[in-house]
Every structure is written in C-alpha cells, then in structure tokens.
Amino acid sequence: MIINLKMSGRWITVSLVLVFVLISAGCGFHTAGYMKHRPELMAQYRENTLPDQYAYFYCGREDLPYAVVGIDPAYSFDTKFWFPIEFGPDLYQKIDHLSNLEPGQNRKYARAILGPAGNTIGVWFSYYHSTGVIVDDANHTIRVYNPYKPGSRQNRMYR
C-alpha cells in the first residue's frame, strides 16, 4: 500500500490550522484574569481604609468564610456561591474570620484582581493563596471561583 505523503502532510496541516482556529475562537469569549500580591491591601485592611467603591462578597460559611472579594461596580459579578457584605464593620469582621480556618495561625493573603490587560478590577482576601478568575472585558463581567476544594491536601491538614 502506497501512502501519498504530500496529501497526508496537507491534511495534517489543514487539521492543525482548523484546531487552532477553533480553540482560539472558543478562548476569545472569556479571558483569564489573574491575581497579584499587593502588600498595600493588607495595610488598608489593618487601617480600615479598604476602597469603599467596590461591591464586597464572601464565600463559605457566614462565620467562617473562605474568601472575601471586592469587585469594581463597572463589572457584573457572577454571584453564584458568593454572598454580599455591607461595606463597613461587617466587611472587616468577615476578613478577620478568615484566619479561623487554621487554628493558631493568622495567615491571610491579599491580592489585587486584575483583568487580562492588567487593569485592577477588584481585591481578594483569603486564607487560600488564590483561585481562578475569568474576565470578559468586552461585556464587563467577572467570575471568581470559590477557592475551597474538598479533599485537597491543604484542607485535610487543618480539619
């Protein structure tokens, strides 16, 4: 049996280009946002001077949240699994309770939530280092995933 290598090579090239185009089109609708360590956010929390223009939410239990986020009101926030917090004492109390996840420790992470272009669109406070962020800049929407993953090594260590 003789295989036409010239035709086979073209088929592979066409297939690869098609796969690339389809993947690119699928990824074009939503882009990964990301988080960046910002020490000044922890200072703002300690001084009770967090940005008051953000809409704040928490996920997890009311008395033991996994994370607290503040989202720029120019973005529509997917609130599935997130609950609103009034700016003021309730917000600072929720962030205070983050350290209760690990008895005897006072570990909290403070991060800026950035869009694909590097613009700051929110803040993150959590016992967890970070989580996934999906941003659709064209429609000004953001989704921040719950950082808690049942059964993870980190969660088993502190039960």
Domain ranges of the chain: 31-157
Q: How many helices (H) and strands (E) does the chain have?
A: 4, 10
pTM (global) more than 0.85: no
In this structure, of 10-14, 39-43, 112-116, 133-137, the range with the lowest mean pLDDT score is 10-14
35-88 per-position pLDDT tens digit? 999 999 999 999 999 999 999 999 999 888 999 999 999 999 988 889 999 999
Q: What is the dihedral of CA 60, 130, 31, 150, to 10 degrees?
A: -50
Query: What distance in Å separates the CA atoms of residue 55 and residue 18, rounded to the nearest whole number?
Result: 42
Q: Give residues with Cβ within 8 angstroms of 83, minimum separation 6.
A: 57, 58, 59, 62
Chain-centre distance of CA 114, in angstroms?
A: 9
Determine whether 22 is exposed, middle or buried from the number of CB atoms within 10 Å of its CB (0-12, 13-18, 19+): exposed
